Amino acid sequence: MCVHACGREDAGTERALPRRTGGVRDFQEIPHTGSNGWINLLRFWKDGRFSLLHKHMENTFRRLGPIYRNGTEWRADRLLLNREVMVASAVRRFLPLLDDVAQDFCRSLRHRVETEGVGETGQRRMTLDPSPDLFRFALEASCHVLYGERIGLFSSSPSEESERFIWAVERMLATTPPLLYLPPRLLLRLRAPLWTQHATAWDHIFSHAEARIQRGYQRMQMAVGGASDGRFLGVLGQLMEAGQLSLELIKANITELMAGGTAVPLQFALFELGRNPDVQERVRAQVLSSWEQASGNPHKALQGAPLLKGTIKETLRLYPVGITVQRYPVRDIVLQNYHVPAGTLVQVCLYPLGRSPEVFDRPERFDPSRWAGSKPDENAGSGGSFRSLAFGFGSRQCVGRRIAENEMQLLLMHILRNFKLTVSSTEELNTKYTLILQPESPPRITFTTRSL
């Protein structure tokens, strides 16, 4: 855990102050890395450590301990959004749409492996970097849920609109990290090319959302006229039909949901399943049994395969997409027997948390069953429910959580039904932190077809 005190200007040197015995310790006694933010920032730039920020956090966690320091309207709108994307009834509405995209993805991949791969019939295999395909899957699945329509990213010749949207999302993700630490007004005055590219990318993303909103409105009007066949019109249609949020708020929230993505955690999940064949077989056995009993119903199939959810949690434990969860306490609190004043930025550092033997038994082991309700991790302690924080917690947790969780589970379910996964190396993946945590080099996965 990391805490930041705004406006402090202590020396930029790292120090761990001596402990005071008895009573709650003062805020100034918290071990720290130096509170001069600008000096720390310049050091990071000079040493090229931004891409290894997650490793820096882990080292600091080990060196200074689990706590150190570095220098009614929103809620109402959020509750309205939750009804369409978070509650169980909403999940049941959009789950078939995610399942359609996941099955299409696997059909497309299976056709490619069978026609371009090597090996005997029924056991054709192909080794590839799945990251571009996973990126398209994530966008296609999210669009289907949010807009109620497909955008054709699995097509051999996607539309110009779809290709422009893919470019915009890629540019937005690529240009964001360098801009996080520089004042936007300075970049605007300097007319920095990076800022121009970033702004242009967001213009395209918002234009895409605007066009989809217009189409959604037209479909809703047709539904009012009796042209709808009872199909789910997407989260956008539900929000517009409810009429409780302004179009600007709808556009902003839909765009934010679109900007998220599951492609990177899916890369990590496929890699871990590939290098842990025993785990892969246990998850597959549960998936096959559940799929058969569910007779193709995706909701029932996921309910009967809790190891799928455990696989996602285990992946995000080792490779959190965002490496911190941040909060400003509204009142003074005590953390680890240190007094922390209200208004202090408090960060939970997820990367070292997920790899700490004080929190998880044998944290280096990829074990989806550690999340099963009947087998709590031995080291869970009283805070067991807060060990999985990849999506945040409370009212401000990631609003796209249910979409992302089910999107990943459904794709893994159909991949395990269709393929056996292997990797050429079981060595740890090197990772880097940009806007999100990702592999330095995308892992190559061998997909071998299975009989269905």
- Say how far apart CA 46 and CA 138 lie, in whole Å: 35
At 159-190, the pLDDT tens digits run 888 888 888 888 888 888 777 766 667 766 66
Within 323-366, residue ranges assigned H as helices are: 350-354
Residue among 104, 70, 16, 145 at smallest CA distance from 418: 104
- Say how far apart CA 402 and CA 82 lie, in whole Å: 10
**Is 258 buried (19+), middle (13-18) or exposed (0-12) by CB count in 10 A?**
buried
Tell which wins on pLDDT, 53 or 100. 100
- Say how far apart CA 208 and CA 215 lie, in whole Å: 11
The CA-based dihedral angle spanning residues 282, 283, 289, 295, taken in that order and rounded to the nearest 10 degrees: -170
Q: Which of 76-80, 144-148, 178-182 has maximum average pLDDT?
A: 144-148
Asked whether residue 226 carries a pLDDT value surpassing 50, the answer given is: no
Percent of the chain topping pLDDT 70? 77
**Length of the chain measured in residues:** 452
H/E segment holding residue 422: strand 419-422
Q: What is the mean pLDDT of residues 29-49?
A: 55
- Say how far apart CA 321 and CA 388 lie, in whole Å: 12
398 marked as part of a ligand binding site: yes
Q: Are 377 and 387 in contact (CB under 8 A)?
A: yes
- Say how far apart CA 408 and CA 406 lie, in whole Å: 5
At 415-452, the pLDDT tens digits run 999 999 999 998 999 998 877 889 999 999 999 999 88
Asked whether residue 192 carries a pLDDT value surpassing 60, the answer given is: yes
Q: What is the pTM of this model?
A: 0.81
Within 329-376, residue ranges assigned H as helices are: 350-354
The CA-based dihedral angle spanning residues 421, 303, 325, 370, taken in that order and rounded to the nearest 10 degrees: -70
- Say how far apart CA 150 and CA 28 lie, in whole Å: 55
Q: Does the domain formed by 56-322+356-449 have CATH 1.10.260.40? A: no
Neighbours of 103 (CB within 10 A): 18
Lowest mean pLDDT: which of 24-28, 95-99, 282-286?
Answer: 24-28
